[in-house]
Amino acid sequence: MTGGISPATVKIGVRAALVALAAVAAVAVMYLIATTRPTPASWYPKCIHYRASGFHCPGCGTGRALHHALNGNFVQAARNNILAIVLLPTVAVAAGPRLMAWVRGRPAPPRRLLGARWVWLLVVLFLLFWVGRNIPVTPFTYLAPQELSSAETSASK
Ligand SMILES: [Zn+2]
């Protein structure tokens, strides 16, 4: 008997549907982040580490940074979390080909961006960023999340 849809084709279709669903969810979340101003009263998750210790973790300011980046204000985005603004697109670019290989049921392509040496470099960078953004001396204070003054904000709109 010939014809019909093979199990492999169904598997690829299910995986493609899952990736499409995740992409729609990601776009919806990005829309919410872009349209919601990050204020202390907004729904953005508050950092448990910062509340408990008073020190910024490497993720502090990521929500504010994404909000500003999605609105085209990259200076203010970098002022809130430059590491997230650099790493998140890098991870997305690095994961894209592997995700597409998974959807097609093919072997993952070799890692070019995130080889073992790069992962160790990222770990060191991550730790230095964590310590550095908590040192209350210029230029380290530029690594801590902070809003620009209202004059700078209105000038950038
Ligand atoms: Zn934090």
How many A from CA of 58 to the centre of ligand 1?
Answer: 6
At 4-39, the pLDDT tens digits run 888 888 888 888 899 899 999 999 999 999 999 988
Dihedral sign, Cα of residue 17, residue 23, residue 29, residue 31 = negative
How many A from CA of 157 to the centre of ligand 1?
Answer: 27
Q: What is the mean pLDDT of residues 37-58?
A: 91
Q: What is the mean pLDDT of residues 75-91?
A: 92
Q: Give the whole-angstrom CA distance, residue 1 versus residue 17.
A: 28
Q: Is residue 23 part of a domain?
A: yes
Supply the mean pLDDT for the chain: 86
Q: Is residue 69 part of a domain?
A: yes
How many A from CA of 109 to the centre of ligand 1?
Answer: 34
Q: Is residue 85 part of a domain?
A: yes
How many A from CA of 55 to the centre of ligand 1?
Answer: 8
How many A from CA of 99 to the centre of ligand 1?
Answer: 29
Q: Is residue 58 part of a domain?
A: yes
Residue of 112 and 157 predicted with greater confidence:
112
Count of structural domains, the chain: 1
pLDDT over 50 (residue 147): yes
Q: Ranked by mean pLDDT, which of 18-22, 80-84, 96-100, 112-116 comes out on top?
A: 80-84
Q: Is residue 123 part of a domain?
A: yes
How many A from CA of 68 to the centre of ligand 1?
Answer: 17
Domain that holds residue 84: 7-155
How many A from CA of 130 to the centre of ligand 1?
Answer: 10
At 108-126, the pLDDT tens digits run 877 666 677 888 988 999 9
How many A from CA of 62 to the centre of ligand 1?
Answer: 9
How many A from CA of 129 to the centre of ligand 1?
Answer: 12
